[in-house]
Amino acid sequence: MRHAAATLGSGNLRLAVMLPEGEDLNEWVAVNTVDFFNQINMLYGTITEFCTEESCAVMSAGPKYEYHWADGHTVKKPIKCSAPKYIDYLMTWAQDQLDDETLFPSKIGVPFPNNFLSMAKTILKRLFRVYAHIYHQHFPEVVQLGEEAHLNTSFKHFIFFVQEFNLIERRELAPLQELIEKLTAKEAR
């Protein structure tokens, strides 16, 4: 994959993702999850004109990976939908989770729920799918827009974070495994 060439001068991202001393793990995961959500939302926003019902009739990450939407509440049985519709559902759903004070408490001293980490894992797993779709279906447009260094740096930060805290299963990362190995090889532990 030629995708890994350009990244921003971003210091050591492996160190940047580590839990700061004295920091609560849930708090750290929450703050970073919100940051990744915002970054991915912004990155996807730059290519929405290329990601249409026609060009991306299926939410995929290459020929072997197709994603169907289900949120477990309003959509219980996974539905096949276009990438823009899937990503819209995903971002709306994720925003609702992030805005839920019982799940992501914003007030100091309010405890995180017991299921917080499993919810954060679900959010991050789904956000990964947006990166995977962008890399597989829209990388030429990303390059055309001069956004590849930004995308690569954001993705590399995301991957180091989810690896550091074991937040996404390896099999879920398969659509971008080659890219992940390239991006992370330069900064081995």
What's the pLDDT score for residue 72?
Answer: 80
**Domain range list for the chain:** 11-17+24-185
What's the pLDDT score for residue 189?
Answer: 46
pLDDT more than 70, % of the chain:
92
Name the pLDDT band for 106 (thresholds 50, 70, 90). Answer: confident
pLDDT more than 90, % of the chain:
76
Instruction: Say which range, 3-12, 24-33, 125-134, has the weakest mean pLDDT.
Output: 3-12
Is 81 annotated to bind a ligand? Reply is no
Output 156 or 11, whichever has higher pLDDT. 156
| C-beta contacts of 62-66 below 8 A and 24+ residues apart | 62/132, 62/136, 62/175, 64/175, 65/132, 65/136, 65/174, 65/175
**Please, which residues have CB within 8 angstroms of residue 147's CB and are 6 or more apart in sequence?**
43, 46, 47
Q: How confident is the model over 127-166, as pLDDT tens digits?
A: 999 999 999 999 999 999 999 999 999 999 999 999 999 9
Where does 11-17+24-185 sit in CATH, by number? 1.20.140.30
Residue 157, SS3 per DSSP: helix
pLDDT at residue 33 greater than cutoff 60: yes
pLDDT at residue 40 greater than cutoff 90: yes
- N-to-C CA span, the chain: 22
Instruction: Say which range, 71-75, 93-97, 109-113, 118-122, has the weakest mean pLDDT.
Output: 71-75
Residue 170, SS3 per DSSP: helix
